[in-house]
Amino acid sequence: AQRVTQPEKLLSVFKGAPVELKCNYSYSGSPELFWYVQYSRQRLQLLLRHISRESIKGFTADLNKGETSFHLKKPFAQEEDSAMYYCALTGSARQLTFGSGTQLTVLP
Amino acid sequence: DTAVSQTPKYLVTQMGNDKSIKCEQNLGHDTMYWYKQDSKKFLKIMFSYNNKELIINETVPNRFSPKSPDKAHLNLHINSLELGDSAVYFCASSARTRGRDTQYFGPGTRLTVL
């Protein structure tokens, strides 16, 4: 069975502070891992995926297979980063399994 | 030129009614999905479908049925609506390209069952 765990339901940081949203996964094969973001009452948008090893809006995430983690990081948070963030993985069935989400609030 | 669209955006209905939510994608993707986001913002897969295979999440009641008139559409039909069906339903689509499979989501349909 595949599972994604986001231990923090709520996370608040001040503008300009570093932020890290934690994600751990459980999957027996080689999963594809993603971070999706959902701004207030909007659709889910892909933020980044581990295969691309890219940085989007200043966010990065590194896949650590030893720790089965895919934490999302940004060195300097901005107010517009406030949103719900979902970590997700796909396995062989191509269906996304989501974590429970972390609501990030960046305070002025 | 919206990539994945859903109608309606809001749906308010009485318990026991039958309703449908439509989804269309113009990305040329081969696989479409339905997800349910509950009141606690938890997202869960309901179905995935391509022209060869329908995969149903075992926890989905059989009152829910996906219907695909063609590759660009996957509609969600719900019979005998219950209070617990109130949620936001998201459609998504994807295609496997060069080993990558990224899902793109519709804007969601907020269903309220009274």
Using an 8 Å CB-CB cutoff, list chain B residues near A93: 48, 55
Proportion of chain A above pLDDT 90, given as a percent: 68
- DSSP per-residue letters across A18-78: -EEE--EEE-SS--EEEEEEE-TT---EEEEETTTT--BTTBEE--BTTTTB--EEESS--
Q: Rounded mean pLDDT of B43-48?
A: 91
User: Which band of pLDDT confidence, cut at 50, 70 and 90, is reported for residue B55?
Assistant: confident
What is the structure's pLDDT at B109? Answer: 96
Proportion of chain B above pLDDT 90, given as a percent: 68
Which tens digit of pLDDT belongs to each residue from B19-45? 999 999 999 998 999 999 999 889 999
Using an 8 Å CB-CB cutoff, list chain B residues near A34: 102
Nearest chain B residue to A90 by CA distance is: B101
What is the structure's pLDDT at B1? Answer: 58
Quick check: B49 contacting A, CB < 8 Å?
A: no
Cβ–Cβ gap A43/B48 under 8 Å: no
Angle value at C-alpha A88, between A73 and A27, nearest 5 degrees: 110
User: Which band of pLDDT confidence, cut at 50, 70 and 90, is reported for residue A91?
Assistant: confident
Q: Rounded mean pLDDT of A63-88?
A: 95
> What are the start-end ranges of the E strands in chain B?
4-7, 10-13, 19-25, 31-37, 43-50, 54-56, 64-67, 75-78, 87-94, 96-97, 100-101, 104-105, 109-113
Which tens digit of pLDDT belongs to each residue from B83-96? 999 999 999 999 87
Asked if the model's pLDDT at residue B54 lies above 90, the reply is no
